[in-house]
Amino acid sequence: MQRDVVQKFLPKGWKFQQVMYSDSHGHAMQRCTDENKNEVTIFLDIDCIPLSKEAFKFLFDDRWSCNNGTLIGCAQRANHLENNKHIYVGPFCMAFMNATYEEVGRPTFIETYRGDVGEELTYRWQEKNRPVTFLWPSDVWKPMWNLMATVEFGMGTTYEDLFYHSFCARSFEGQALFTNECNRILEREVLA
């Protein structure tokens, strides 16, 4: 279902590839990045989808584009870690230029002493004074975690009306939520 939604909104000339590895999340992302020979890497977890044609275009907007070296994506926080409530670009929806990734030293996607899966990228971009742009939650179906004091995220989180992330994709509830959202989008597109 993710493929059907992404194909509806994918800009002309772009390629979309779904890849599944038996590695851990961080190892799989590292492997994808290592194998990607294109100029840009965009990650979407299997339960993350764009909500309109504007979603992918937003990642390349000249004001905060990954084209200018920005790490861009949805805001996330690892609530299970004591790392000063660090907010980072979540690995479920992120974009960056591969050249910038090389320039900042090819940070690992694997969990580190200070961060969760993919969090090291945000740390490294910040340490190298490279721009980081966050997409913030605009709606949450079932709040589960604190992002900041007054902002939560969780199952069924929409980010600035551009991307939707079901979270908890391994649970029946998460899968049902994602399937319903995909059907809603695909039906809306058929009726339009």
- Give the largest CA-CA distance in the chain: 49
pLDDT tens-digit readout, 46-82 = 999 999 999 999 988 766 667 788 999 999 999 787 7
pLDDT tens-digit readout, 106-148 = 999 999 999 999 999 999 999 999 999 999 999 999 999 999 9
CATH architecture of the region 2-191: Alpha-Beta Complex (3.90)
pTM of the complete model beyond 0.75 = yes
Question: Mapped to the 3 state alphabet, what secondary structure does the chain carry?
Answer: CHHHHHHHHCCCCCCCCCCCCCCCHHHHHHHHHHHCCCCEEEEECCCEEECCCHHHHHCCCCCCCHHHCCEEEEEEECCCCCCCCCEEEEEEEEEEEHHHHHHCCCCCCCCECCECCCHHHHHHHHHCCCCEEEECEEEEEEEEEEEECCEEEEEEEEECCCEEECCCCCCHHHHHHHHHHHHHHHHHHHHC
Indicate whether 192 pLDDT > 50: no
pLDDT tens-digit readout, 141-180 = 999 999 998 999 999 999 999 999 999 888 999 899 999 9
| Average pLDDT of the residues in 27-43 | 92
Question: Domain limits of the chain?
Answer: 2-191
Indicate whether 41 pLDDT > 80: yes
